[in-house]
Chain A
Amino acid sequence: MKTVRIWFKKLGAARFISHLDLNRCMARAVHMAKIPLWYTQGFNPHAFITFALPLSLGVRGERECMDMKIDETKITDEELLLRLQKTLPADLPVFAVTDPKEKPGKIAYALYELKMCSETPENAETDLFQKWESFLNQEKIPAEKRSKSGPLVVDLKPDLQIRKIFQDGETIYTEVLLPAGSEYNLNPSLLVETFRSQSGASFFCEYTRHCLYNKQMEPFQ
């Protein structure tokens, strides 16, 4: 028995699958692919599949991963990859199977791309771009974050690392690195929604998570 890490993308229609449904969808694909899984030994045996850091609904994922325990004497990693590619829907492509090098707890940052389009016409993009830049350049960005102990006001500014920001035609692209993982996680929509309510701007934002990193800023493996 060994644990393998399966790398996949979450695109198109699959972005709108909730985490619970993603779990079920993966379980069916694994079942269909006849992967020699290791099952929990309890009263109601079920496959052991865990996701490193589930994505929010609607967010595209370019490098997502899940771990599962398999019987490695019965299947090679290459075969596993091929079989899963056949049984998963087109919007959930699997692109690699590796040994897990780090535990999901080592995840410290996530790199997101935000694509914003103004919803009010007439040169509104430039206006939106200015508003967005000045919002990000504030000394403090207080935001209300939901937590287990109720709403919590946090300052987003110190945790925020803007990697890229530019305007291309009607679209504003922003690449932002945010703390991620089980210890402290910031959802990019918190940043965007705080901007929306502060600026009163009307726009649509599309989110993509490109990569997860550890504390040393190496891609999570």
Chain B
Amino acid sequence: MQRMNPNMEKIWMKVQKPSRYTGGELNSVIKNKEDVDVRFAFCFPDVYEVGMSHLGMKILYGILNEMDGVWCERVFAPWIDMEEQLRDAHLDLYALESGDSLREFDILGFTLQYELSYSNILNMLDMSGIPLLASQREGLKNLVVAGGPCACNPEPLADFVDLFFLGEGEEIDKELILLYRKCKQENVGKQEFLIQAAQIPGVYVPSLYDVKYKENGTISSVTPLCGAPAKITKRVMNDLDSMYFPDRFVVPYLDIVHNRAVSEVLRGCIRGCRFCQAGFIYRPFREKSVETINRQCKSLCENTGYDEISLSSLSTSDYRQLNPLLDKLLTWTEDARVGISLPSLRVDNFSTEVMDKIKTVRRSGLTFAPEAGTQRLRDVINKNVTEEELMKTVSTAFKGGWNSIKLYFMIGLPTETLEDIEGIVNLGQKVVDAFYANPDRPKGRGVSVSVSASGFVPKPFTPFQWEPQDTVKELREKQKHLVNCVHSRKLECNYHEAVVSFLEGVFARGDRRLGPVLLEAHRQGCKFDGWNDCFSYEKWMRAFQICKVDPAFYANRRRSFDEILPWDHLDYGITKEFLIRECKKAYQAEITPNCMQKCSACGASCFKGGICVEDRTDLV
């Protein structure tokens, strides 16, 4: 098969890491175009190494390619050098499997992993000659859809995306494709298709909602049109054991960010840390059984050749069968020379037993996230981790031979004072001291503790969704204070660029009036905003200025509890009453028990799944 344009080879010779663009990897799916009537391009608006590490893409790629007559291909944002080559040669951005331009595709599905990738979505459409505005794309061809965590406030993208998927995609993608096929066969127009699609639970068609604003700039009403539902409820997969999971991944030639087999052990999170969007929008907490995970890990290793399994989730140590699972895996992984890694461990339940089991293979650094420097502030954000627990955990780790610890913090949290900033450094220093206080410490090696502080960004569907974000000036002052407090060379201190957090904050809680700004920023050449070497604050500020939109209105303004928020018509199960309760408790530095200890009536039980419906006599 003539898969690629021969001109492409010349281009590959001129760019860095050409394997990003060649395709042809093990387990990539090639179908006969004659047998296909719906072509789906799964578009990841970041580079290959990032996108290929994304589990959601692997799942949906598997599901869609199992459908008869459907061919799902992968598209990633080409890095600057490749974009330049493609544009110089007047070639379109293409999908890796067929080498065909995105214009050839029926549906382009973007995944919204973080706000700073929005400009790449526009750029990818532009590189394929596809009109950016949804209103300019007539007909069913090149339908642009999007899903992923940021779809919980998709309003800034409402001008560009035809429809959004809310929640988990395993079923909804298939349902939409079946409707699309039917409409394509019956020659149904785009508008009629969208009206029908809006009836699929979890599908949000922004053009079917009329948003009106008050004089002060806040929203006065959101009105559904053409029979679209007033509330769109996210989709949830209740039974993780019967749910589709790929038994093979596309194995890249290139070393990517997470180059290993991945099995999801659970979805949702019991913790309810008040800053964490994922902790709320993925509820309820649901676990996969040991048998299922074991079987999936085994077939993944057999079909990919990977020698490392990652047990992934928001908080893997909350998986209640972790020890039995590790024992089960260890019955075959050692002989097969497969290592196990646990990416998301918590400070409060990190045990020697687990540590002994995972260290049999390979040892990398350990990372913990206390998130705030003082107990008071940790209580405010409901990060139920104490200093004592952290010290106990790091001492265990040091005894076990680890000597490199990374600690993640946030600055700019609600109610934060300079004392809390100092607390971050003090905590880091105490970890350093704990290493030297340990008589069993690894001999002849020093300790390295790195403290990394990112700027807090208030997100929708969290108890802090009404909070003002610290201004760039405030964040910078706090960063400066943080660095000034460090007095040890064993303690390394990093922080994130404040202007990047600011932009993230604007788009996280933005509304439809940011559409023109995004378009202007694209015209100004903004792309890869999450990458330091590409991000241009000046270009973004120019775009806001040209569109006469004040970014501070979105980032730094305190909302009142009764304001209509841009995402209020989207339903993630979590009720506003619960979020208000949590917000008020935060001001009192009052903690909320986790879902295992006590149900806090967040609203996620409406999905009737997971921990919410467990028969648990231990609960009061």
What residues make up the interface of A, taking CB atoms closer than 8 Å to B? Answer: 12-14, 16-18, 20-22, 24-25, 27-32, 39, 44-45, 57-58, 87-91, 204, 206
Contact = CB atoms under 8 A, between A and B. Distances in A.
Given A13-B253, A58-B13, A31 B305 contact: yes
Given A28-B304, A31-B337, A206-B9, A12 B255 contact: no
B307 A31 contact: yes
24 contacts: A12-B22, A13-B24, A13-B25, A14-B253, A16-B18, A16-B19, A16-B253, A17-B253, A18-B19, A21-B19, A21-B255, A24-B255, A25-B253, A28-B304, A29-B26, A29-B305, A31-B337, A32-B304, A39-B337, A44-B362, A57-B18, A58-B13, A89-B24, A89-B26
A13 B254 contact: no
Interface in B288-346: 302-307, 337
B305 A13 contact: no
Contacts of A12: 22, 24
Nearest to B251: A28
* A-side interface mostly: helix
A29 B362 CA distance: 21
A90 B19 contact: no
Contacts of B251: 25, 28
A57 B13 CA distance: 8
Interface string B9-27: 1101100001100111110
A17 B19 contact: yes
A89 B305 contact: no
A28 B10 CA distance: 29
Given A13-B23, A89-B25, A21 B253 contact: yes
Given A30-B305, A32-B304, 5 more contacts: A13-B24, A17-B253, A28-B251, A28-B307, A31-B337
Contacts of A17: 19, 253-254
Interface string B254-266: 1100000000000
Contacts of A204: 10, 13
Nearest to A18: B19
Contacts of A32: 302-305
A13 B18 CA distance: 9
A131 B287 CA distance: 69
Nearest to B25: A89
Nearest to A21: B253
Nearest to B18: A16
A214 B307 CA distance: 37
B459 to A, nearest CB: 37
Nearest to B12: A16
Contacts of B304: 28, 32
A39 B334 CA distance: 14
A20 B17 CA distance: 12
Contacts of A25: 251, 253
Give the residue among A13, A29, A31, A89 with the most B Cβ atoms within 10 A: A13
B24 A91 contact: yes
A218 to B, nearest CB: 32
A13 B19 contact: yes
Q: What 8 A-B pairs are tightest by C-beta distance, nearest first?
A: A28-B305, A13-B24, A32-B305, A13-B22, A16-B18, A89-B26, A17-B253, A31-B305
Contacts of B19: 13, 16-18, 21
A17 B251 CA distance: 13
A30 B336 CA distance: 12
A87 B302 CA distance: 10
A192 to B, nearest CB: 12
B1 to A, nearest CB: 11
Nearest to A119: B10
A25 to B, nearest CB: 6
B24 A14 contact: yes
Nearest to A32: B305
Interface string B186-229: 00000000000000000000000000000000000000000000
Contacts of B306: 28, 31
A13 B48 CA distance: 15
A22 to B, nearest CB: 8
Contacts of B23: 13
Contacts of B303: 32
A201 to B, nearest CB: 15
Contacts of A21: 19, 253-255
Contacts of B254: 17, 21
Nearest to B253: A17
A29 B303 CA distance: 10
Interface in B111-168: none
Nearest to B13: A58
A3 to B, nearest CB: 20
Contacts of A89: 24-26, 253
Nearest to B254: A21
A114 B10 CA distance: 14
Give the residue among B251, B255, B305, B337 with the most A Cβ atoms within 10 A: B305
A161 B9 CA distance: 27
A20 B254 CA distance: 9
Contacts of B305: 27-32, 87
Contacts of B25: 13, 89
Contact of A16 (B22, B302, B337): B22
A16 B253 CA distance: 9
B363 to A, nearest CB: 10
Contacts of B307: 27-28, 31
Contacts of B12: 16, 58
Contacts of B24: 12-14, 89-91
Contacts of A30: 305
A23 B382 CA distance: 46
